[in-house]
Amino acid sequence: MPIRRKLEDAVPILLGLLADAGTKGSNTQDPPAPESNTPDHYALLKQIREYFKNRQDLFRDLKRTEDKLLENFTALEEEIDNSKYGSDGSRGDPAHPPMEHSLSGRFKSIIVDVSEFERLKLKKSEESPKNNESKAQEMEISEKWYALKVERHILEPPVLSPFQLSYDNITGIDGKEHPIPGRNIKLCLLCFSVFPPKSVIKKRPLIYWWLGEGLITETEDGERIFGELIKKGLLIAEYKPNKNPIVDSCTMHSWNRLMLISVAKRAQFFDFDDDTGLPANHGTSSRRMCLVKQRLDKQTPPNGEASRQDHTQQHQNSSSRAASTEHRLLTLFNVNDQYVNISNIRGFSEENKIEVLQLGRWQDSAKYHIEVENEDFLKALGSKKHLKYLSLRGISRITEIPSSVRKLINLEILDLRACHNLEKLPSDISSLKMLTHLDISECHLLESMPKGLEKLTSLQVLKGFVVGTSKRGPCKLENLAELKRLRKLSIYIRNEAYMEELAKLKQFETLCILSITWGERGAQGPKEQSRKQSATTWLDPDRLQSLSKLYIRGGKLVSFKESPTGKKWRVQILRLKYLHAFDENKPWRRNFPYLSYLEIVKKAEDEHRASSSRSTEQPTDHH
């Protein structure tokens, strides 16, 4: 009979018991082969053993929730021991342990408890080859489980019930202006089921997705939902590097992901492929559809013309199965398709009322390459009058956004970030009256801004605005001062010849987040400017009292001088990069009494030097 003991002793003892159970199983004279309807008992024991083996150090000094953990450890030991015997007390058949569901359920309870510690990142060490090896091993085990169809049996009601209970108990979030119903939060959580295992998921595309489907009405609501799901242990927070207090992405524990997929299947939120565990690239019962790369051979990624022909054939095969969603398709989301060609998808007909079209990459890194064979499909977008969110982020071979986009009168979010071949936007976009978010950052070939930006009175976020790069009457920075709802602005300015434009920034009194980039595009660090600058000549703390985040990259800024009126900056996060003339020793910091995070990088090859101080509130990154 297992006894209660110290937490630091529980893991080694449990490992010994698991090793003993595994040895006895392997010494059986006739080890049973896995049957189609029987989970591999010893694979499960091995999974449990590897899980605790790789986390022994985590338990040394953890005292909180100790009683709860020890109770689960004791019960798990009992169930491992009992699984060796039949209901009548005789030695059981090792191929058919009688308490498989109870064993898996107890293991799930411990994973939930341990995940609380892992989210706190207590004594987290740097990544090492050993850690990377264990992650690869864990991924390999997951793939083997799919091959054995183990999830079909593990994710049955007896084991799924704790997660289902957590899901069912999700309640709404109260708010004076924007209360969020519990049903909407559940639907937001189900969106995470489409991502591959171990994915680092950025907040921005998820919040855009939720806005597009109408699950939330403000980006702040998305931030609140992320915080609630992290608080409940359903997501694991990922912070920006260098002690930056902003949570900009998240991950999901493998076990939670499997459980979520099962719930999403039952809710017909997406159709899933039983062989890969990823969403299927066809629609049968769901109004949401995914673009998924069908090739599973990791050693030979699709390259060259032959692979593109194979890829086109996959789309043609999937299109015939998508007919049932043709007139009711709500969302089309690109999970990992490298070669986008939606013209062959029957579900993408002119008649449907699609609202979310995420064709670009959702990953932050540029290593995830996406390209289009041709740009013809962009011309057909004008017929999607119900479209609210369009993402072409990071897609190569797009050189021009056609004028037909101006017909998207309900479009709220247009994400063109990192379309490196993009040279031209529509000449006039004033018809996009509903647009709230426009991201054209990292589009290095754009020379000017389209007309009509100043007429987009709903615009809240504008990223990548190019200041004065054309003599043909581009939209000026001062024109944007009329956008009273604009709260986040990032601009690019080529050189000091356009310094007069920067002086107009004083008019943006409602701005909360401002990013300024100087110098030639594409360089590792912005090009040096010829004369020194003081921020007070174009930034005024008297006028910019709503500004909470300020990011300046490049230029000849020397310091932040005091305001003539003695007004202090209310900036909480300040990031300064490649400011070679900036004097860190000057007493400028006394003008930033609310500063909670400071990052200064003088050269591109330098290590980031960041300092942070405690703040009563954790800042959030409003996109």
The domain limits of the chain are 7-153, 165-256, 489-623
CA distances from 398 to 376, 407, 417, 429 (A): 10, 19, 12, 18
Distance (Å, whole) CA 517 – CA 155:
50
pLDDT of residue 302: 40
Q: Which of 276, 235, 243, 246 is nearest to 112 (CA)?
A: 235
How would you write 450-479 as a 3-class SS string?
A: CECHHHCCCCCEEEEEEECCCCCCCCCHHH
pLDDT of residue 20: 62
Using the Cα atoms of residue 290, residue 291, residue 294 and residue 300 in order, give the sign of their dihedral.
negative
Specify the higher pLDDT residue, 497 or 180.
180
Contact 428, 450 (CB under 8 A): yes
Specify the higher pLDDT residue, 253 or 51.
253
pLDDT in tens, 322-377: 444 455 789 999 999 999 887 766 556 655 789 999 999 999 888 888 998 788 88
pLDDT interval class at 527 (50, 70, 90): very low
Residue whose entry in the numeric block shows the structure tokens 């499960």: 44
**Residue-averaged pLDDT of the chain:** 75
% the chain with pLDDT above 70 = 61
CA distances from 234 to 193, 227, 230, 251 (A): 12, 10, 6, 9
pLDDT of residue 594: 93
Q: Are strands 288-291 and 247-251 parallel, antiparallel or unpaired?
A: unpaired
pLDDT in tens, 121-148: 444 444 444 444 544 555 554 555 455 4
Distance (Å, whole) CA 438 – CA 208:
11
DSSP-derived 3-state class of residue 513: strand
What CATH architecture is 165-256?
Orthogonal Bundle (1.10)
Whether 535 shows a pLDDT value over 90: the answer reads no
pLDDT of residue 414: 97
Q: Determine the average pLDDT of the residues in 597-610.
A: 69
CA distances from 42 to 49, 64, 156, 316, 493 (A): 10, 32, 19, 42, 62
Q: Determine the average pLDDT of the residues in 450-456.
A: 90
Distance (Å, whole) CA 231 – CA 220:
16
Distance (Å, whole) CA 207 – CA 248:
11
Encoding tokens for residue 339?
């070669």
Contact 143, 43 (CB under 8 A): no
pLDDT interval class at 284 (50, 70, 90): low
pLDDT in tens, 465-481: 988 755 555 688 888 98
Whether 44 shows a pLDDT value over 80: the answer reads no
- Residue 410: phi and psi, rounded to 5, are -105, 5
pLDDT of residue 11: 64
**Beta-carbon contacts of residue 64 (< 8 Å; ≥ 6 apart):** none
